[in-house]
DNA sequence: GTGTGTTATTAATAAAATGTTAATAAGTGT
DNA sequence: ACACTTATTAACATTTTATTAATAACACAC
């Protein structure tokens, strides 16, 4: 092996093909909250927690649903690629984007060795008009979870997607689970895993950050905010407890919301500068 | 473009070279806690929080220190690669390993486009004999941090490594910062960024998980455990408060530790099964 | 218009968790 | 025997959280 005196000399002779080539993609888990159909003329809309999926029109996994994603370009940072893909698929930008996890199982793509770095994006569907083409659709998420498995149902009003995940405790000190796909008919790649671990991350962050406000409109009632927490966490919260926790994060505005068939509620907004 | 009828047909013709080739590496941030020198004949050893670095013996960054790492093989999962690298560099296995973040700046490696997925590993130096070769060394970590920057000093008893990081608030709802290297003489690649964001993750997990026990021996005193928390969090904790928080996680054993020049203390161990 | 159903909002109280100070314990070394 | 050190816990004040229940105010039915 040749001895080099300087880094410049070494780099001039360097052969980049000596290491195995990987392809790199970025997949984005776009979360939002949507209003369901009114259950009767009186009840307020029930909220749902939803994700955006696109239908593949080429092989592999032709006609299956998958997360918006694409190949990272050779001169592009991974996060830049995620932003570009988000813009291409939904025409939205400048929204919450966070790297989640990098999936690198050698068999996760039948074509070749593809690494995928997943990102989570949060949007308020009311604030930003998403360009949902005929190949993209919002699916409401319903989870049934216990210590050993997660059953997921996705519903876009037209089509139901179901998959089942097996959970095994991987590491007890931090309660981390290994997820494996038990049943999956309709989703491409390992995207069921990306979805469940992304939801798990979101649930966690909901409890100790202000992340929820990325999914809210500028003005909202505390009832609406509480519904968003409830639908993501999958459980009911008691009003006074919820208000106590949230009260330092929001400020009451002059505006009121009437028309709900009940006492009107004050509209709040996220408080940017907390004491 | 040719129309394919089946996935098999498509895959048979697939040309994997049509997408840009990336190289993939895995870098491991190995944390442990070490005993410092005795300050006087009476005081107990002061504990330090430490990381393992290796000295590069080839270009690029020849003679600089870096995190243990290496290229992922084409048929190997990323986490498998991390385990292999850990075994090669330190001769340890079956320890706490968690994926942290994937770094993909196009210029992070001068040779070519290299993606690096970082992992954090935790070990108890007393429990496992680490094979520290002449090119590997434990460095005690000292941090000086405020809202805008982090000054880091690493000390292996022989050599001091200093670097400075600029922090800018990237996203206010979840308090995420963007880190940039301000000054760095001695570390290779973007490893200063990997180190500070890894420490930040560890601090966070310390507060809401039992992760600390991965760095502790089987039997330990509550004073030792408290010192580990203090040295990682960088602040003093009050004894009764600490004991209240920790008491559900540990169980007292019959064993006692004497010889410290003061009242002996009970030895505890991590309680696997909590109510 | 009066009553009923609905959600909004907060008061009031009980229970639990946390913060703080200080007292007592039990070794080692002088 | 005494001083020094860390271990351990008691006791109390303070804050936070949980729970129940009361009151508010609009829309609709009649």
- Whether residue A169 is contained in a domain is answered as no
Question: Among A63, A106, A193, which would you mutate to test the B interface (most chain B Cβ atoms within 10 Å of its Cβ)?
Answer: A106
Say if the Cβ atoms of B59 and A96 lie within 8 Å. no
- Its pTM stands at 0.91
For residue B111, list chain A residues with Cβ-Cβ distance below 8 A. Answer: 11, 14, 16
Q: A30 pairs with which residues across the strands?
A: A121
Tell me: do A60 and A117 sit in the same domain: yes
Question: Residues B206, B229: contact at Cβ < 8 Å?
Answer: yes
Q: Indicate the helix (H) or strand (E) that contains B101.
A: strand B96-103
Tell me: do A63 and A116 sit in the same domain: yes
Q: Compute the nearest-CA separation of A254 from chain B (Å).
A: 24
Distance A241 CA to C15 C1' (A): 14
Whether B40 has a pLDDT exceeding 50, the answer reads no
Say if the Cβ atoms of B210 and A72 lie within 8 Å. no
- pLDDT over 70 for what percent of chain B? 86
- Whether residue B17 is contained in a domain is answered as no
Instruction: Give the closest residue to A221 by CA, choosing from A261, A260, A269.
Output: A269
- Whether residue A194 is contained in a domain is answered as yes
Question: Among B4, B6, B24, B56, which would you mutate to test the A interface (most chain A Cβ atoms within 10 Å of its Cβ)?
Answer: B24
Residue B75 is encoded by which pair of tokens?
A: 């048929």
- Whether residue A164 is contained in a domain is answered as no
Whether A41 has a pLDDT exceeding 50, the answer reads no
Q: Does B74 touch chain A (CB under 8 A)?
A: yes
Say if the Cβ atoms of B23 and A23 lie within 8 Å. no
Tell me: do A221 and A139 sit in the same domain: no
Domain count, chain A: 2
Cα angle A191-B28-A211, degrees, rounded to a multiple of 5: 50
Last-in-domain residue among A208, A236, A262: A208
- Whether residue B1 is contained in a domain is answered as no
Whether B18 has a pLDDT exceeding 70, the answer reads no
Tell me: do B55 and B81 sit in the same domain: yes
B245 C-beta less than 7 Å away from strand D: no
Instruction: Give the closest residue to B30 by CA, choosing from B59, B54, B62, B63.
Output: B54
Q: Does A129 touch chain B (CB under 8 A)?
A: no
Q: Which of residues 19-48 of A touch strand D (CB under 7 A)?
A: 41-42
- Whether residue B12 is contained in a domain is answered as no
Shortest-distance nucleotide from B262 CA to C1': C27
Nearest CA in chain A to B6: A59
- Whether residue B222 is contained in a domain is answered as yes
Question: Residues B53, B143: contact at Cβ < 8 Å?
Answer: no
pLDDT tens column, A261-274: 788 899 999 997 65
Instruction: Name every residue whose Cβ is closer than 8 Å to that of residue B43 and which is 6 or more positions away in sequence.
Output: none
Tell me: do B221 and B203 sit in the same domain: no
Tell me: do A44 and A127 sit in the same domain: yes
- What is the structure's pLDDT at A60? 87
- What is the structure's pLDDT at A197? 96
Tell me: do A194 and A73 sit in the same domain: yes
- What is the structure's pLDDT at A39? 42
> Rounded distance, CA A76 to CA B220, Å?
49
pLDDT tens column, A121-161: 999 987 767 776 668 899 999 999 999 999 999 999 899 99
Residue A192 is encoded by which pair of tokens?
A: 């069921």
CATH number of the domain within which B100 lies: 3.90.79.10
Structure-model confidence comparison of residues A3 and B140, the more confident one? B140
Query: For the residues B250-259, what does the mean pLDDT come to?
Result: 88
What is the b/e burial string over B69-82, where b = at least 16 CB atoms within 10 angstroms of the residue's CB? bebbeeebbbbbbb
Query: For the residues A87-114, what does the mean pLDDT come to?
Result: 89
Tell me: do A204 and A228 sit in the same domain: no
Residue B200 pLDDT level (bands cut at 50, 70, 90):
very high
Provide the residue range defining the domain that includes A258: 216-270
Structure-model confidence comparison of residues B12 and A93, the more confident one? A93
Whether B45 has a pLDDT exceeding 70, the answer reads no
For A205, other C-beta atoms within 10 Å of its C-beta total 18
Query: For the residues B209-237, what does the mean pLDDT come to?
Result: 94
pLDDT tens column, B90-134: 788 889 999 999 999 999 887 788 999 999 999 998 776 766 666
B255 C-beta less than 7 Å away from strand D: no
Tell me: do A93 and A204 sit in the same domain: yes
pLDDT tens column, A198-251: 999 999 999 999 999 999 999 999 999 999 999 999 999 999 999 999 999 999
Last-in-domain residue among A178, A208, A238: A208
Tell me: do B228 and B97 sit in the same domain: no
- Whether residue B53 is contained in a domain is answered as yes
Last-in-domain residue among B173, B208, B243: B208
Q: How many CB pairs under 8 A join A and B?
A: 145
Tell me: do A266 and A195 sit in the same domain: no
Say if the Cβ atoms of A74 and B106 lie within 8 Å. yes
Give residue B156's region: left, alpha or beta (phi > 0; psi -120 to 50).
alpha
CATH number of the domain within which A251 lies: 1.10.10.10
pLDDT tens column, B55-82: 998 878 889 999 999 999 999 999 999 9
Whether A191 has a pLDDT exceeding 80, the answer reads yes
């Amino acid at each position: 092996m040749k001895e080099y005196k300087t880094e410049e000399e070494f780099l001039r002779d360097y052969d980049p093909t000596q290491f195995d080539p990987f392809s790199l993609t970025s997949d984005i888990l776009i979360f939002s909250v949507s209003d369901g159909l009114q259950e009767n003329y009186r009840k307020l809309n029930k909220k749902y927690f939803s994700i955006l999926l696109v239908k593949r029109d080429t092989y592999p996994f032709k006609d299956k649903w998958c997360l918006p994603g694409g190949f990272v370009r050779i001169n592009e940072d991974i996060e830049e690629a995620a932003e570009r893909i988000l813009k291409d698929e939904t025409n939205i930008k400048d929204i919450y984007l966070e790297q989640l996890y990098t999936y690198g199982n050698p068999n996760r793509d039948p074509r070749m060795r593809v690494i995928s770095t997943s990102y989570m994006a949060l949007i308020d569907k009311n604030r930003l008009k998403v360009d949902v083409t005929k190949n993209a659709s919002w699916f409401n998420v319903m989870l049934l979870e216990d210590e050993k498995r997660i059953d997921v149902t996705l519903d876009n009003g037209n089509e139901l997607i179901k998959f089942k995940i097996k959970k095994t405790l991987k590491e007890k000190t931090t309660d981390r689970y290994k997820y494996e796909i038990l049943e999956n008919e309709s989703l491409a790649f390992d995207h069921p895993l990306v979805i469940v671990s992304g939801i798990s991350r979101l649930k966690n962050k909901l409890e100790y950050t202000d992340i929820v406000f990325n999914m809210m409109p500028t003005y909202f009632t505390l009832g609406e905010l509480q519904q968003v927490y409830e639908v993501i966490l999958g459980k009911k919260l008691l009003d006074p407890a919820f208000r106590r926790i949230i009260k330092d994060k929001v400020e009451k505005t002059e505006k009121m919301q009437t028309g709900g068939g009940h006492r009107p509620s004050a509209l709040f907004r996220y408080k940017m500068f907390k004491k």
